[in-house]
Amino acid sequence: MYLTDEEQRILNGECGEPQRLALQVLAKLGEACGAERLVEIASAHLVASSYQIAGEAGIEIYSRLVEQGARVKVRTTSDPGSIDFARWREFKTPAEYAARQLRIAELLDQMGVIPTWTCTPYAAFNVPRFGDHLGWSESSAVVFVNSVMGARTNRLAAYVDLCAALTGRVPYFGLHLTENRRGEVLFELTPDLAADFADHYFPALGYLVGQTVGDKIPVIVGLTRATFDQLKAFGAASAASGSVALYHMVGITPEARTLEEACGGRIPAERITVGTREITAVMEQMGGVTDGPVDVVGIGCPHASIDQMRRYAALLAGQRVHPDTELWVCTNVVVEEMARKMGYVEIIERAGAKLMVGTCHNDCPLQAWGFRRLVTDSGKFAYYTPTTVGTQCVFASTEACIRAAVAGRVERS
Amino acid sequence: MSQPQRVWKGRGCAAGQFEGEAVVSSQPFGFWQGLDPQTGTVIDKRHDLCGTNVKGKAFAFPYGRGSTGTPGIFLEAVRNGCAPAAIVNVKSEPMIIMCALLAEAFFRVSIPIVDSLEGVPHEVLRSGDRVRIDGSTGVVEVLSRA
């Protein structure tokens, strides 16, 4: 692989051990993946910021790098941690566990990482521009910045994202190249489904698409509108049930003004039709509603935006969460602060719901709660929580999630 | 050096040498939530190897199901000496290759990875086979059958 003079100097150790090690990983990765060179990046985002992912190995790696004087070279943000930094006791996180997460926070801080603790850094502080090359991990963020913002990043792995941050570079392969961003699998919505496309169909469709395409690039045809949060929910679900890193929605996402553009002029012959029957079937698979009590409700995955906080507050105003049920709203500290100023936090908390800030149900150790049944409006939670939290999962609309929290149970309507 | 019974040529994805026992599955595998890094035991209840220990073995599976958190679990297993010592895939995605590169960079442990064998790994290899793997040349040899 071709290296510039500066990259060669880094590899020779002239810029210190952390950069040498990081560049060596990136160069070998590039060689294994057929990259001709490295490319400079505008920013990085780190997924091994949570103790659940990083573990003791991560603490060892970060400690060594900090001792060697490691500093990030580009704007770098952190994914959610494994604790709510302000309320971990409230969430029954063991003190020893919290201490390990706090240690990671300290080490990332010493390397100059911006402590956003969120899976939606693209909504504040780490906002890519169209065409920017990035070194990001966190599957839901990768799919969002590629698809909705038109930035370019592969799905980097934990620690490789840090190698990118330390050197300001990534190997130039995969989604960094225009020819690899063409849509490969076509999904066509039936007119009746498209005409009456409910909010929670976005994560359901994402789940279906991810399951079908694996790591290929899907193109969705038939939708005419989608909000920022609906695109976020769709992508997160597709990146969980499959490994989707880029999707195109014709007429909605920036590299898909037309079907021809989305497919780079080569429109796939095969079309998968999605109608009401397919959407209903996938929602059943994500967690069909069976009557019974609910232990915990999870909303705000990926982290809730201020628009979503406004919606939750409107739905919870004057309501009371059932005493045997927990309703946790996941978001980041930026949105929390804004929502507090706007009075939403007060409404949400007065209803008996909890804000879970800088983390989520998936990233936190929740064994102490003994949850058996979780209700969520997130396709990503629906995919992961049966393993991470060990619960049975019910997938429902945001409104139905809040009704379940208030009633303390779900019922098939 | 023992004479191999069969030799297959593949693509070397990560350098390193291995000689020892193979554990083979026909199902894709995800390390994140699939492996207990404290013991090296497969814990994914949906997987046919659930309960099997892959520590120190050559782990053959068709391809990885890779969450971006994969190296978190993988390196934790490496640090505890509980990771597989070699990997053979039909196709190794970047996520699994990154795991081996990181293990080498941060823990100085070489885990050879080979893919694209002339034969399908889970058809030509069986759990319990004694194998030799060279991650640079991409050569996989069966030394003795289970």
| A28 contacts in chain B (CB < 8 Å) | 101
Dump pLDDT digits (tens) for A168-192.
Answer: 999 999 999 999 999 999 999 999 9
Q: Count up the domains in chain B and report the number.
A: 1
| Mean of per-residue pLDDT scores for chain B | 93
Residue B116 belongs to a domain: yes
A412 CB-contact burial (10 Å; exposed 0-12 / middle 13-18 / buried 19+): exposed
At a CB cut-off of 8 Å and minimum separation 6, what does A318 contact?
none
Per-residue pLDDT for B65 more than 90? no
Residues B105, A25: C-beta atoms closer than 8 Å: yes
Residue B128 belongs to a domain: yes
Residue B83 belongs to a domain: yes
B131/A239 Cα distance (integer angstroms) = 36
Q: Does B106 touch chain A (CB under 8 A)?
A: yes
- Which residues are bridge partners to B80 per DSSP? none
Residue range of the domain that includes B108: 6-144
A38/A15 Cα distance (integer angstroms) = 17
At a CB cut-off of 8 Å and minimum separation 6, what does A172 contact?
A30, A35, A36, A37, A38, A39
Residues B33, A54: C-beta atoms closer than 8 Å: no
Q: Which domains does chain A have, with CATH numbers?
A: 5-174 (3.30.499), 182-285 (no CATH), 288-410 (3.30.499.10)
Enter the tokens of residue A325. 């049920």
Are A270 and A241 within 8 A, CB to CB? no
DSSP 8-state code for residue A200: T
- pTM for this structure? 0.95
Q: Does B105 touch chain A (CB under 8 A)?
A: yes
Q: What's the half-sphere exposure (Cβ side, CA atoms, 13 Å) at A208?
A: 25
Predicted confidence at residue B1, as pLDDT, reads 56
| Domain harbouring B83, CATH code | 3.50.30.10
Among the partner residues B13, B69, B105, nearest to A158 by beta-carbon distance: B69
Q: Does B11 touch chain A (CB under 8 A)?
A: no
Dihedral sign for Cα A318, A324, A330, A332, please.
Answer: positive
Predicted confidence at residue A389, as pLDDT, reads 83
Among the partner residues A24, A28, A158, nearest to B71 by beta-carbon distance: A158
Per-residue pLDDT for A323 more than 70? yes
Please give the average per-residue pLDDT across A38-58, as a whole number: 96
- Which residues are bridge partners to B132 per DSSP? B19, B141
Dump pLDDT digits (tens) for A114-134.
Answer: 999 999 999 988 999 999 999
- Residue A212: in which H helix or E strand, if any? helix A201-213
Are B58 and B94 within 8 A, CB to CB? no
Shortest alpha-carbon distance between residue A22 and chain B (Å): 8
Residue B113 belongs to a domain: yes
Please give the average per-residue pLDDT across A270-292, as a whole number: 92
Per DSSP bridges, beta strands B86-88 and B113-115 are parallel
Per-residue pLDDT for A413 more than 90? no
Rg, chain A, Cα only: 21
Widest Cα–Cα separation across chain B: 40
Please give the average per-residue pLDDT across A181-208, as a whole number: 97
Residue B55 belongs to a domain: yes
Please give the average per-residue pLDDT across B65-72, as a whole number: 85
Residue B1 belongs to a domain: no
Residue B14 belongs to a domain: yes
Query: Quick check: is B110 catalytic?
Result: no
Enter the tokens of residue A80. 């959610």
Q: Among residues A382, A364, A377, A360, which one has the least CA distance to residue A118?
A: A360
At a CB cut-off of 8 Å and minimum separation 6, what does A329 contact?
A299, A300, A304, A309, A312, A348, A353, A354, A355, A356
Residues B71, A154: C-beta atoms closer than 8 Å: no
At a CB cut-off of 8 Å and minimum separation 6, what does A207 contact?
A237, A238, A240, A241, A282, A285, A286, A379, A382, A383
At a CB cut-off of 8 Å and minimum separation 6, what does A133 contact?
A39, A40, A41, A42, A151, A152, A153, A170, A176
What ipTM did this prediction achieve? 0.91
| Mean of per-residue pLDDT scores for chain A | 96
Predicted confidence band at A390 (pLDDT cuts at 50, 70, 90)? confident
Shortest alpha-carbon distance between residue A342 and chain B (Å): 35
The H-assigned helical ranges of A242-343 are 259-262, 276-287, 306-316, 333-341
Residue type at A112? G
Predicted confidence band at A405 (pLDDT cuts at 50, 70, 90)? very high
Per-residue pLDDT for B3 more than 80? no
Among the partner residues B66, B69, B72, nearest to A243 by beta-carbon distance: B66
Predicted confidence at residue A387, as pLDDT, reads 80
Alpha carbon dihedral B22, B27, B31, B35, in 10-degree steps, equals: -70
